[in-house]
Amino acid sequence: MSSTAKKKGFGATIWDYLTTVDHKKIAILYLIAGTFFFVVGGIEAMLIRIQLAKPDNDFVSAGLFNEIITMHGTTMIFLAAMPLLFAFMNAAVPLQIGARDVAFPFLNSLGFWLFLFGGIFLNLSWFLGGAPDAGWTSYASLSLASPGHGIDFYALGLQISGAGTLIAGINFLVTIINMRAPGMTYMRMPLFTWTTFVASALILFAFPPLTVGLFFMIFDRMFDANFFDHINGGNTVIWEHLFWIFGHPEVYILVLPAFGLFSEIFATFARKRLFGYSSMVFATILIGFLGFMVWAHHMFTVGLGPTANAIFAVATMAIAVPTGMKVFNWLLTIWGGNIKVTTPMLYALGFIPSFVAGGVTGVMQASAPLDYQLHDSYFIVAHFHYVIVGGIVLALFASAHYYWPLMFNQMLNETLGKITFVFFFIGFHCTFFVQHFLGLMGMPRRVFTFMGGQGWDQFNLISTVGAFLMAIGVILLVVNVIITAIKNEPAGRDPWKDGRTLEWAIPQPVPYYNFKQTPLVRGLDTFWIEKMEGNKEGMTYAEPISDIHMPNNSFIPFMISLGLFVAAFGALYHQDTDKTWSIPVLIIGLAITFASMITRSLKDDLGYHIHKEELMNEKGGKH
């Protein structure tokens, strides 16, 4: 939707997006793909709630229900929440640190296409013999026993999209370390940049165990290995460990950027510096660190023994301390501020009580003996939805409104935004609050139906009603996006008027090279400092206008990902004796990937330069 794109024809625009290495366009790709998968996961959620609206319901069958819950969880975590966060990271982080792009624009594109092809592969299972049905955790004994190819789609699809995530994580780490503008010291970085940094480090260390676990699963199911086959010496608990060594940090990979986004929103709309910035940074790092020490609290009932359980229980409780610090710092940020309740701020304000509720139930479950009762009951379902919806999804919705003008130079409708919030927020509490009690009343999770007369009927119905309210909220958001796109009114620079950080200082629409001159950062909230000093341009510059080096677009990332996508089909059908084409397909796919990689390696790609003279003539090219 940038001005350059409008001049092009439709085909040229598509080609532009297929080959782009521009972080702003990749952000839009992530946003579109993530939203698509969010809607798919949402439809699956609605099917679950319709099935459980009344006892002994037969809206969906038992096997299909298990496929739906598995795909709901997997889709929402891997294909909706993470890409949507990557959308905002890509859109905002390079601008926040005053960079012209990420460190590896090519890899940025590769990360996206790997994620997308992995996600498509996983979802194709619906049409090719059935989706995975062992839960998003895919515990080994059940997933090995699962017939059909569902679990194979799960393992291969996540492997491909996981590689994309790992690449994106490394990219953000290098970007934030190497690409900061002069004066942007670590302790001047906006909190969203900080949380992106820590979350990327978590990705780096958390995804390899998942990769290994998925390979074991692939080998066991498709190539007759024995990692999880206890008759041949394997052990299913290894999968549980590997999954949760990944799975628990994954929670923080998702929630830390959400914290960062809310920190930006609170400071902006309270018109006040983030309270206790340095302790917020410290808390972020501490949460990231402790996030690796607590995975076994997902396994209290596995029988690891009292010592392991006690240690992991206490370590888990410790995480509540830095998290609590954050909550109080947010409260003190708005305390004494000048609060404007815009739509993003409304979400941020809704986030505090919701997330605190989710956090305290987390501490309750950290208490191992109590968790023996709560584990795998509806209580845990309520807990993690309070954290994920109350924390992450609210952050995503808030940021959609907050960063829409940055990404598209348009403002989403504020009134409609607030109505959306009311539906979604009330629906959310209505859906999940009662589930705490369902769990306490003995209802296990992942049940496709329940018999009447166990005291659960009423609350399940309330929960379903809430889910419909949430669905209305999501539909309203989509309507808002469509209306805004049709209206197409430019929002201009600093549309919220209270922007504090560099991304708001840049002219709109954002030039494809970002900063004409690299800015000089003079403190935390650098744009705010310049504004307060009456600097109309909003930036002090670190350099005169000079040539800008830009990377070339490339179609190779698409081809590398496509090759793996093709190869995955070969691996998947390798076990079916009637499908003799499987090995050739595997080889062809890998050949496409390796040929693309070798092309990339052998062909010099030096990028191009935008010359000084061109820059001077650009619109808004003041000097």
Partner 1 sequence: MMKGLKKWRLFGLLAALTIFLSGCGEEYLSTLTPAGQVGKDQYNLLLLSTAIMTFVIIVVVIIYVLAIVKFRRKKVGENTIPKQVEGSHTLEIIWTAIPIVLLLILAVPTVSLTYKFADTKAMEAKDADGNAKAVTVNVTAKLYWWEFEYPEQGIVTSQELVVPTGQKVYFNLKAADVKHSFWIPAIGGKMDTNVDNINKFYLTFDKESDGLKDGVFYGKCAELCGPSHALMDFKVKTLSQDNFNNWVDNMQATKGKKADKNSTDLGEQVFANSCISCHAVSGEGTGGGVAPNLAAFGDRNRVAGFLEHSEDGIKNWIKNSQELKPGNIMPEEKALNNGKEFTDEELDALAAYLMGLSVEK
Partner 2 sequence: MDLNKKFTPQSWPAHPENSTLEGKNKTLGFWIFLGGETVLFATLFATFLALKNKGPAGMEFSTQSLFELPLAFIMTMLLLTSSLTSVYAMYHMKNYNFKAMQAWLIVTVLLGLGFLGLEIYEFYHYVHLGFTFTQSAFGSSFYTLVGTHGLHVIIGLAWFILLMLRNSKRGLNLYNAPKYYLASLYWHFIDVVWVFIFTVVYLMGVLG
- 83/473 with CB nearer partner 1: 473
Q: Is 511 in the site for partner 2 (CB under 8 A)?
A: no
Q: Which listed option, partner 1, partner 2, none, makes contact with residue 174 (CB within 5 to 8 Å by class)?
A: partner 2
Q: Which listed option, partner 1, partner 2, none, makes contact with residue 232 (CB within 5 to 8 Å by class)?
A: partner 2
Site residues (CB under 8 A) for partner 2, limited to 196-225: 204-205, 207-209, 211-213, 215-216, 219-220, 223-225
Q: Is 371 in the site for partner 1 (CB under 8 A)?
A: yes
Structure token digits, residue 123: 């979802």
Q: Is 376 in the site for partner 2 (CB under 8 A)?
A: no
Closest CA to 412 of 31, 45, 34: 31
CA 250/CA 82 separation, integer angstroms: 9
Of the candidate residues 356, 416, 520, 550, the single one contacting partner 1 (CB under 8 A): 356
Q: Which listed option, partner 1, partner 2, none, makes contact with residue 451 (CB within 5 to 8 Å by class)?
A: partner 1
Q: Which listed option, partner 2, partner 1, none, makes contact with residue 32 (CB within 5 to 8 Å by class)?
A: none
Question: Least Å distance between CB 128 and partner 1?
Answer: 20
β-bridge partners, 548:
610
Angle (CA) 500 503 507, round 5°: 110
Structure token digits, residue 101: 């792009």
Question: Least Å distance between CB 22 and partner 2?
Answer: 17
If 0-12 CB within 10 Å is exposed, 13-18 middle and 19+ buried, where does residue 578 land? exposed
Q: Is 331 in the site for partner 2 (CB under 8 A)?
A: no
Q: Is 170 in the site for partner 2 (CB under 8 A)?
A: yes
- 282/594 with CB nearer partner 2: 594
CA 2/CA 185 separation, integer angstroms: 31
Q: Is 303 in the site for partner 1 (CB under 8 A)?
A: yes
Of the candidate residues 12, 232, 369, 576, the single one contacting partner 1 (CB under 8 A): 369
Q: Which listed option, partner 2, partner 1, none, makes contact with residue 266 (CB within 5 to 8 Å by class)?
A: none
The stretch among 88-96, 346-354, 483-491, 566-574 that binds partner 1 (CB under 8 A) is: 346-354
Structure token digits, residue 564: 């793996």
Handedness of CA 288, 289, 292, 296 (dihedral sign): negative
Q: Is 295 in the site for partner 2 (CB under 8 A)?
A: no
H runs (alpha helix) in 443-545? 457-487, 526-532
- 321/483 with CB nearer partner 1: 321
Q: Decide the pairing of beta strands 519-520 and 540-541.
A: antiparallel
Number of other residues whose CB lies within 10 A of the CB of residue 481: 18
Q: Is 173 in the site for partner 2 (CB under 8 A)?
A: yes
Q: Is 608 in the site for partner 2 (CB under 8 A)?
A: no
Site residues (CB under 8 A) for partner 1, limited to 447-476: 447-451, 454-455
Site residues (CB under 8 A) for partner 1, limited to 72-101: none
CA 208/CA 162 separation, integer angstroms: 9
Instruction: Give the 3-state secondary structure of residue 166.
Output: helix
Q: Is 47 in the site for partner 1 (CB under 8 A)?
A: no
The stretch among 17-25, 345-353, 538-546, 566-574 that binds partner 1 (CB under 8 A) is: 345-353
Question: What CA–CA distances, in Å, run from 588 to 371, 481, 585?
Answer: 49, 41, 5
- Contact criterion met (CB below 8 Å) for 179 and 136: no
Of the candidate residues 179, 212, 318, 461, the single one contacting partner 1 (CB under 8 A): 318
β-bridge partners, 444:
377
Q: Which listed option, partner 1, partner 2, none, makes contact with residue 177 (CB within 5 to 8 Å by class)?
A: partner 2
Structure token digits, residue 225: 């290995």
Residue 444 DSSP one-character state: B
- 297/493 with CB nearer partner 1: 297
Site residues (CB under 8 A) for partner 1, limited to 131-150: 133-135, 139, 141-142, 145-146
Structure token digits, residue 258: 């959400």
Handedness of CA 218, 219, 220, 226 (dihedral sign): negative
Q: Which listed option, partner 1, partner 2, none, makes contact with residue 117 (CB within 5 to 8 Å by class)?
A: none
Handedness of CA 21, 22, 24, 25 (dihedral sign): negative
Site residues (CB under 8 A) for partner 2, limited to 231-250: 231-235, 238, 242, 245
Structure token digits, residue 214: 């998925």
The stretch among 17-25, 30-38, 362-370, 542-550 that binds partner 1 (CB under 8 A) is: 362-370
Q: What's phi and psi for 572, nearest 5 deg?
A: -65, -45
**How many angstroms from the chain centroid is the CA of residue 219?**
28
CA 112/CA 16 separation, integer angstroms: 15
The stretch among 173-181, 298-306, 312-320, 353-361 that binds partner 2 (CB under 8 A) is: 173-181
Of the candidate residues 49, 180, 241, 272, the single one contacting partner 1 (CB under 8 A): 272
- Phi/psi region, residue 376 (left: phi>0; alpha: psi -120 to 50; beta: rest), is left
Q: Is 487 in the site for partner 1 (CB under 8 A)?
A: no
Of the candidate residues 13, 226, 236, 540, the single one contacting partner 2 (CB under 8 A): 226
Q: Which residue has the tokens 């609350």?
A: 459
Q: Is 313 in the site for partner 1 (CB under 8 A)?
A: yes
Q: Which residue has the tokens 């340095």?
A: 278
- Phi/psi region, residue 488 (left: phi>0; alpha: psi -120 to 50; beta: rest), is left
Site residues (CB under 8 A) for partner 1, limited to 219-248: 230, 235-237
Which residues does 121 contact at the CB level (< 8 Å), separation at least 6?
A: 153, 156, 157, 160, 565, 568
Q: How many residues bind partner 1 (CB under 8 A)?
A: 94
- 181/407 with CB nearer partner 2: 181
Q: Which residues bind partner 2 (CB under 8 A)?
A: 103-104, 166, 170-171, 173-174, 177-179, 204-205, 207-209, 211-213, 215-216, 219-220, 223-227, 229, 231-235, 238, 242, 245, 598, 601-602, 604, 606
